[in-house]
């Protein structure tokens, strides 16, 4: 069902509100340039500062704009299990193909609590689920053993792994088997994750370079290892640049500079890039002929 490059969409704003027209144009740009799926309302989409109504509207727009050309994996995660169930039901009702669920954050559940969280979502809002493990954001890691339990739930089809540990990811591939596809949660680890049996990446950089990210993954999938290595090495400075400040600040800035969205407006507590970091970003974008 899910494979290749799924873009973790930024959410454009205009005058403090979701810019629906710019969002639709961004989605069209992504599909035209070869992405395999759309992921609205994740970390990169600033879901933490969207109201519930806005969150649902962004999912709705994405499903409508995609027109079933590529799968939509709607961000529906919450540290409140009941809220996660509500968002997943909404995503299903409006036609999303799957839902992305981050590990519950701040309340730091035990491994058993994490399992029960996902079990409840699967039981009460049956829709294909992508489990998102990112300890740096949540304060809690899903162990490979717990992930193996979670992926036995039939609704769980994929894992977005952003722990940064290839050893942990390899353990998940071994323990989860064919129950769930592994996706890199860091652009810079796309090729290593493919090499250990992963199926692709849920990508921040694809907002800016959907075609190049898609070409990297396709080269690997076609068995052209040298080409995949070459493309991965070329993209490494850009992958790193997307995280010189908190995501999505750099990518939103870069996408606006490239004219893909009208501006880089963000909602507090996120703010514009610090001048020194912005200079670094501009240099990297110029070095790669993305801006002049």
Phi, psi at 207, each rounded to 5°: -55, -40
Instruction: Count Cβ neighbours within 10 Å for each residue of 246-285 and write b for 16 or more, e otherwise.
Output: ebbbbbbbbbbbeebbeebbbeeebeebeeeebebbbebb
Cβ neighbours around 23 below 10 Å, total: 23
Token pair belonging to 7: 């873009």
In angstroms, how far is CA 218 from the centroid of its own chain?
A: 18
- Of 67, 68, 106, 160, catalytic: 160
105 carries an active-site annotation:
no
44 in a known ligand binding site? yes
Which residues 6+ apart lie within 8 Å of 130 measured at CB?
2, 73, 98, 99, 100, 101, 156, 157, 158, 159, 160, 183, 202
Please identify which of the residues 56, 92, 132, 199 carries the catalytic annotation: 132
Give CA angle at 47 (45, 48), nearest 5°. Answer: 135
Residue with tokens 């850009």: 238
Q: Is 280 a catalytic residue?
A: no
103 among the known binding-site residues?
Answer: no
Closest by alpha carbon to 7, among 198, 180, 248, 195? 248
Residue 72 DSSP symbol: B
CA dihedral 109, 115, 118, 122 (to 10 degrees): -150
102 with 66: CB under 8 angstroms? no
Q: Which residues are catalytic?
A: 132, 160
Q: Which amino acids are annotated as binding site, given as ranges?
A: 44, 202
Q: Which amino acids are annotated as binding site for pyruvate, given as ranges?
A: 44, 202
């Amino acid at each position: 069902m899910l494979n290749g490059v799924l873009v973790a969409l930024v959410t454009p704003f205009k005058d403090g509100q979701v810019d629906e027209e710019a969002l639709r144009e961004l989605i069209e740009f992504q599909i035209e340039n070869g992405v395999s799926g759309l992921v609205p309302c994740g970390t990169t989409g600033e879901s933490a500062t969207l109201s519930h109504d806005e969150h649902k509207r962004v999912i709705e727009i994405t499903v409508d704009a995609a027109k079933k050309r590529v799968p939509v994996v709607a961000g529906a995660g919450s540290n409140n299990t009941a809220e996660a169930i509500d968002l997943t039901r909404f995503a299903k009702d409006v036609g999303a193909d799957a839902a992305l669920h981050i590990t519950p954050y701040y309340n730091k559940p035990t491994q058993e609590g994490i399992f029960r969280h996902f079990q409840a979502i699967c039981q009460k809002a049956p829709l294909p689920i992508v489990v998102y493990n990112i300890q740096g954001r949540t304060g809690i890691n899903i162990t490979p053993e717990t992930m193996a339990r979670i992926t036995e739930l039939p609704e769980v089809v994929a894992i977005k792994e952003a722990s940064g540990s290839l050893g942990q990811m390899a353990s998940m591939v071994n323990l989860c088997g064919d129950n769930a596809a592994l996706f890199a949660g860091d652009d810079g680890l796309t090729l290593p994750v493919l090499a250990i049996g992963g199926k692709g990446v849920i990508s921040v950089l694809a907002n800016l370079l959907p075609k190049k990210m898609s070409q990297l993954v396709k080269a690997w999938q076609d068995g052209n290892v040298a080409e995949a290595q070459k493309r991965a090495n070329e993209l490494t400075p850009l992958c790193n640049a997307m995280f010189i400040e908190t995501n999505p600040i750099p990518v939103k800035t870069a996408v606006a500079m490239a004219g893909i969205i009208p501006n880089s407006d963000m909602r507090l507590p996120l703010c514009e890039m610090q001048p020194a970091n912005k200079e670094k970003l501009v240099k990297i974008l110029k070095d790669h002929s993305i801006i002049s």
